[in-house]
Amino acid sequence: MKTLRSLIAGSRLAASNPVRRIAFPLLLLGVGLVLVQPCPGAPFVFQPTGSMIQGRVGHTATLLPDGRVLVAGGYNEVEIASAELYDPATGIWTNTGRLATGRQNHTATLLPNGMVLVAGGTDRGGVTASAELYNPATGAWTATGSLILDRELHTATLLPNGMVLVAGGLGSRGFVASAELYDPASGTWTATGRLATARYGHTATLLLDGKVLVAGGWADSNPFASAELYDPATGIWTATGSLTTGRYYHRATLLLNGKVFVASGLNFSGPVDAELYDPASGTWTPTGTPIDGRAFPTATLLADGKVLVAGGEELGSFYTSSADIYDPATGSWTVTGRLTSRRGGQTATLLPNGKVLVAGGFSGHNTLASAELGARRGR
C-alpha cells in the first residue's frame, strides 16, 4: 500500500517527467475495510441514490442553473472523457457529450452565461493546457482557448467581472507560480500577476470584497502556511497573514459572515486542525478541533451556514465514511450520520432542495460509481 510520503515523492518525479501521470492524490492512499452504519439520532443522514454510469475519481461536479449536476472527467484506470448529468427529480444519471480530452485533476467553473469551463488537468499524454466549454442547452462540448501554461491541481475562481482566475498548480516543467485570466467573451487567456510562491494543492476563495484568497499548498518538499490575496482591480498579489499550520490538500469555505473556514489537510505530522481567516484583520485563528482528523474530505456550506465535512483519509491511511458538521456560531463540531460508503476523492454538491449529492471517489479497493444524498433527518 502506498503512503502519502511515497505519493508526494511521485508527484515531484512527475513534475520533472512529463510522461509520468499523477492519478488523483487519493487513489492509492489507503484501504477502508469496514462499513460503519450512521449514528442513531444523527442530525444529518445519508442514503443511496442512483449510481453514475461510470466509476470515477479526480472528477469535477458542477451545479447547473436548472438544478442538475454535471460530472466531468476523472480517472478509472485511464483518464475519462465521459460526462454525466444527475437529475435530482429522478435520482438518475444520464450521459451527456464527451470531452475532447479525457482528463483528471482539472477544474470546472460555471460561467455567467450558463456554460461550464473545464481547464487543464492531466490527460493520457501528461499535463495539459487545453480547455473546453460545456453547453447545457445542447449537451455538447466545444474547444476554447488553451491555457498559456499547462497545469493540474490548480485552482479556478469565477470573479465578479465574469472572468475566471486560474492560479498555481503543477505543470510539466514543475511547480507553477503564474496566474491567468479567462475571458468568456473572447475565449482567450491572458497572463496576470504571479503568486509570490509557486504552489499546488492549495485553495482559492472569492471574498465578499471581490479579492481572492489563496492559502497553503505544497512545493519543494514543503507544506505552506503562507497566504496571498489577488486584487482583480490591479492584477496584483499581496501577502496576507499565514495559516497557523502549514497544509496542503485542505478545503476552504467562505462562511456567511465573510470569514474563510479552512478544514483538514496534511502536513508532515498528518491531518491538522481547522482555522478561520478574517479579511478585516488579515489574520488566522484556530477554531474548534475536528472530531475526526482527516485529509482530502469534501466541505460543503449548508443552507443554515454550517459546514459539512465528509469522507476522506484519516490518520493511518484509511478511508473513512465519517462526517462532521462545523457550526461557525459556536466554533464547535458535531458528529453526524456516516456516508453509506467509505470514500475519498469524491465530490459533494449542495442541491437547491438543501440536500448534498456525494458522488464517486475511491474506496481503497475500487473506483466508485455509487452516489448518495445527505439531508437533515426527516427531510
**Is the separation of the CB atoms in 93 and 84 below 8 Å?**
yes
pLDDT score for 271: 64
**Is the separation of the CB atoms in 359 and 300 below 8 Å?**
no
pLDDT score for 18: 32
* Global model pTM greater than 0.75: yes
pLDDT score for 22: 36
pLDDT score for 315: 66
The one-letter amino acid at 39: C
d(CA 4, CA 309): 21
**Is the separation of the CB atoms in 37 and 371 below 8 Å?**
no
Edge to edge, the sheet with strand 318-319 lists 294-295, 313-314, 318-319
Q: Which residue ranges form the domains of the chain, and what is each CATH number? A: 4-376 (2.120.10.80)
Could you give the 3-state DSSP secondary structure of residue 169? coil
**Exposure on the CB side of residue 255, measured as CA atoms within 13 A:** 21
Could you give the 3-state DSSP secondary structure of residue 86? strand
Please give, one letter per residue, the 3-state secondary structure of 56-72.
Answer: CECCEEEECCCCCEEEE
d(CA 303, CA 352): 9
pLDDT score for 289: 78
pLDDT score for 15: 36
The one-letter amino acid at 311: G
Which residues in the chain come in under a pLDDT of 70?
1-42, 270-271, 315-317, 378-379
